[in-house]
Amino acid sequence: MAQAPAPTFDDTFHDAFATLLRWRRDVRRFRPDPVPEALIETLLRAAHQAPSVGNSQPWRFVRVRDAGRLDAIVADFQACNARARSQQPAERQLAYGALKVEGLRDAPVQMAVFCDDATAQGHGLGQATMPETRAYSVVLAIHTLWLVARAHGLGVGWVSILSPDTVTRALDVPEGWRFVAWLCIGWPDQALEIPELETAGWQARAPRALVLER
């Protein structure tokens, strides 16, 4: 089947893409305005374009609307977050407690993302010595969704301060699905160019990635 002519991307696109990357933020504070279903579908279709080991496409999304299930997730977060704070060195516990690290009650769209470790898709290619590459593939789908969301003005917040077993039980997902991420999605209450953890004095972004020469 003849393919369409390959696209090229000019400097205008390069500049716009660099701006998108610079303004993508982890969002914890959202406006209550609903997100159009068509836009959620756009995000999920974009995520499905992500690369995956052996083209296994192991990402599985669970849209959580049930109040009882959400209550269970919030309760789990509160327990996990309290434990995480107590495990911080004494001198950082106050700063930790001042951080907002979730949008579980703020974002109109709550999405859990799993890795289907039981999928036969990809026939195991590329996974034999590194089975974790399936989860890596799911993370790439999440990041793709994150960028496309930001391009549409939407915010995404990743919450990992949860116990995977509790989330998995609460959502009653198929056997073999492994919890990877909880995403809070909605319209951010403000657009930030600097990561919140940096402005809060928790951790700045290093000037550039560390590269070794070998």
* Chain positions contacting ligand FNR, by CB under 6 A: 25-26, 28, 101-102, 158-161, 195, 197
Dist. CA 131–CA 162, nearest whole Å = 23
CB of 195 to ligand FNR, least distance (A): 3
Nearer to ligand FNR, 14 or 22 (CB): 22
Shortest CB 167 distance to ligand FNR, Å: 12
**Cα–Cα distance for residue pair 77/65, rounded to 1 Å:** 17
Nearer to ligand FNR, 28 or 134 (CB): 28
Give, in order, the Cα–Cα distances in Å from 71 to each of 75, 86, 167, 170, 172: 6, 23, 11, 10, 15
Nearer to ligand FNR, 121 or 140 (CB): 140
* Complex with ligand FNR: residue 72 or 96, whichever CB lies closer: 96
Query: Which residues, at least 6 apart from 182, have a Cβ–Cβ distance to it below 8 Å?
Result: 73, 104, 110, 111, 112, 113, 158, 159, 160, 162, 167
Tell the smallest beta-carbon distance from residue 44 to ligand FNR (Å).
19
| Residue 141 CB, nearest approach to ligand FNR (Å) | 13
